[in-house]
Every structure is written in C-alpha cells, then in structure tokens.
Amino acid sequence: MTAAERWRDLHWVYVPWASLLFALGGWAVKALRRWLLPLTGGLLARLYGLPWWRCLAYTVLTTLAFSLGYSPQTTPWWGLALVGASYGVPPLMLMRWSRWHLLAPLMSLIAFIVLLNLTLAFNWFPHKLFEIGVGAVHGGLVALALQEWQQEGKSA
C-alpha cells in the first residue's frame, strides 16, 4: 500500500482547512495563515509521499506569498495582481509537470481579483468571504496536486 493509498481522500479536507486558516489569519492571528497553513500543507504532501524538497519548497513559498500585503488602499492594482498570482505559485511545487498546471497562478489571480472587487463594491459581500474564497482556491490547488499523486499510485 502506497502512502497516497493510506491517506486516500484526506487531501480534500485541506480545502476547508485552508479556507478556515486563511480567514482566521485575517481576523486575529496572522501566524495561522502565514505559518500553520503552509506547514500543514507541506506535511500533508509529505504524508502522500511527495519528495521532501517539493514539500519544503511549497512550505517556504507559501509562507512568503501569504506574508505579502494586499491592502487596496496602499497597494496598486498591479501589485494586487502579483499577490493574487503568487498564491497559485506554491502549489506548482507539488504538481507533476503539465502545461495545464501553469494555469494555477492564473486561477488564483482571477479568484483574488474577483473576490476582492466584490468585497470592495458590495456591502453584502464581507471581506471574510474574500478570505474564505481565496483560501479555498489555494487549498483546492493543493488538493488537486495531491490527487494527481494518488491517482498515479506512486510515491516518489
């Protein structure tokens, strides 16, 4: 039995986990978003049998990306776009190579900009929904990467 088979569908739990920690990190304790979320993602990837260097690269890059500021009052739109795209880069460290994977930063960027615009434009869309949504997109990209490893039945 491979590591991925042992953990079977645990990777999909990372989506709500990432949403929760991303939102909690925006509410009170930044360390939950900046440190705990990347660390748990890297550990989960290691449980799936991914090489340690991929897990470490993911953890470090995610910590760096989630430490970037994104206040629309102080950051220009091009800077916000870079922050949004940077959230989709770390999951690339966990993915097997495919041209389609390069869409991860684009997906992250689109979600970031759309959700940020919604929260800025409408009172009915609170900022907390932005945080939950952005966390879910990041968690979903990680879960998709881990599912690839599981489906191949390898732990390399």
Can you state the angle between helices 103-121 and 127-152, rounded to 10 degrees?
A: 160
pLDDT score for 155: 44
Q: How many domains does the chain have?
A: 1
pLDDT score for 96: 82
| pLDDT range class, residue 1, cuts 50, 70, 90 | low
pLDDT tens string 80-122: 999 999 999 999 999 987 777 789 999 999 999 999 999 999 9
Quick one: which of 68, 56, 42 has its CA closest to 142?
A: 42
| pLDDT range class, residue 2, cuts 50, 70, 90 | low
Taking residues 130-144, what's their average pLDDT?
96
Taking residues 50-54, what's their average pLDDT?
95
Are 92 and 44 a contacting pair, CB within 8 Å? no
Token pair recorded at residue 55: 């897990």
**Percent of the chain scoring above 90 in pLDDT:** 73
Q: Above 80 in pLDDT, residue 156? A: no
E strands within the chain? none
Quick one: which of 21, 18, 44, 20 has its CA closest to 32?
A: 21
| Chain centroid, CA 86 distance in Å | 10
Q: Provide the residue range defining the domain that includes 119.
A: 3-152
Quick one: which of 107, 79, 113 has its CA closest to 95?
A: 107
CA dist 85 and 138 (Å) reads 11
> Which is more confident, 9 or 23?
23
Token pair recorded at residue 6: 């042992």
